[in-house]
Structures are given as structure tokens and as C-alpha cells.
Amino acid sequence: MEDRCQSVGSISEAERENLILEHIPLLRHIVGRVSVDLPSSVDRDDLYGIGMVGLISAADSWDPTRGLKFSTYAYTRVRGAMLDELRKSDFLPRGRREKVRNLERAVSELEQATGEPPSPEAIAKHLGVNLDELDEVLASSKSALEASLDEGPNIQLGQLLSDPKSSAPEDRLEHQELVRAMASAVAELPEQEKSVITLYYAEELLLREISELLNVTESRVSQIHTRALYRLNVALSPLTGGAEV
């Protein structure tokens, strides 16, 4: 009889199964993050199944001797599997895709006119919409750009909707300068956006938990979070090199 703990790669079968079971909460978290801005036509259960395949694949290919935590390795594999599937399904309806492209054009036109990234208020005025309507388009743009679903994704807008920490410089002094600038930029955010950013990054709460605290929907929290990221990236663009004209 074969040993049930026979090694899979550099870990045993039992360790592999434990890794998968222990990281199902991470899988659920990623499903929540990826699906919150998607239309109702995208089934969360389908994303969960696709993510589970990614989690199993991560457990099969992870090598602990390389020094990378499994949660970090699995996050990339699981999220990547979901985004790959979204690329295939092209989830954005035609009307919403057109709004995303209008947003991209507005950001580009306003920045060329003023020499700096436009504020959400300036974009909304340019498009003839209110901030709530703009938030929906920003959230759609973030989802589409992350999944690289649009033909020739707008790099400029993608930078303005990304997590500012992802472009943190390696140099220690530059990193400290960025941290200080980020703290100052967060302090200048409108109160609701500041609350979401603080709860999400400092308190490490899930969007669902933040929605319960603020008494708004999870989708609305995601939209507020996206708008706050945009403002932070505008403020930090001189340091991160993003959104250059």
C-alpha cells in the first residue's frame, strides 16, 4: 500500500490537503474582492469554483524552500485564475464598456489641458454626471483594467486606480518619503473616503465588514474605495511617477 503522505513536490499529501483547507477563507476573501464590482450576470459560485482550482494548483506547485509564504503565492494564483476566466467571458456589457472608454478619454483630455491628473469632481463635470454615477464607472474601469479586458487598456487610468503601495520605491529614504506623503494625502481625503481607506488598510477589515460599519452596501464601499485610490494616486503621482503627461 502506498503511503498516503507521499510527497507532492516538496510537501506531503497531508500537508497539501491542510494548506487547501486552511486557505479556503483566503479564497472566499478573493472572491469577494474580485466580484464586488462585477454585474449580477457574473456568478460568485462560478468564481469560487475557478478560484478553488487555482488554490489546488497553488498547493500542488508551491515550494516552501523558496521562502515565499503560501498565502502570498496562493493569492496570486487564485486571483489570476479568476481574472483569466473573466477575460474569456468579457463581462462588461456594451453600455458600461462605452462609459469606461468615455472616462478614459475624459481623464486624458483634462490632463492634457491642465498638465495634471483631474480630480473626480472635474471628471464628473466634464462628463455631465454626478459623483455617484462617476463612482460606478470608476469601479467598472478598475475591474476591467485589472483584468486587462479592454482593447489596449489605458495605462494612465490604470495607474490612477491602482493601489499606491504597489509602486512603492525600493530605496529606503524614498520609501519613507512616500509613506509620509501617503499619510498626508489620506488626511486630506473627504471624511467618508478617509474612513474606508483607514478601515481597509490600517484595520484590515473586509469590504463586507466596512459596509456593515458604515451602513452602506458592499458595492458602495468598493466604489468609495476606488475613488479614494484615485485621489491618493493623483496626490502621490509626483513621487510614484504615475500618470505622466
What percent of the chain is modeled with pLDDT above 70? 71
**Correct CATH for 94-240 of 1.10.10, 3.30.420, 1.20.140, 1.10.3470:** 1.20.140
Distance of CA 165 to CAs 47, 78, 90, 200, 219, Å?
26, 21, 28, 13, 23
Asked if residues 27 and 52 have their Cβ atoms less than 8 Å apart, the reply is yes
Q: Would the pLDDT of 22 be above 90?
A: yes
Count CB neighbours of 206 within 10 A: 16
Quote the pLDDT of residue 152. 42
Task: Kindly report, residue by residue over 184-239, the tens digit of the pLDDT.
Answer: 888 899 999 999 988 887 787 888 889 999 999 888 888 898 899 889 888 887 66
In the chain, pLDDT over 90 holds for what percent of residues? Answer: 19
User: What's the mean per-residue pLDDT of the chain?
Assistant: 77
Pick the CATH number of 8-89 from 1.10.8.60, 1.10.1740.10, 1.20.58.60, 3.20.20.70: 1.10.1740.10
What integer is the mean pLDDT of 23-36?
Answer: 82
pLDDT digits (tens, 9 = 90+) for 75-118: 888 988 887 777 666 555 566 677 778 888 898 889 888 888 89
Same fold, 8-89 and 94-240: no
Break the chain into its structural domains and give their ranges.
8-89, 94-240
Residue 51 has pLDDT above 60, yes or no: yes
Question: Which value, to the nearest 10 degrees, does the dihedral of the CA atoms of residues 104, 106, 112, 115 take?
Answer: -100
Return the pLDDT at 102.
Answer: 86
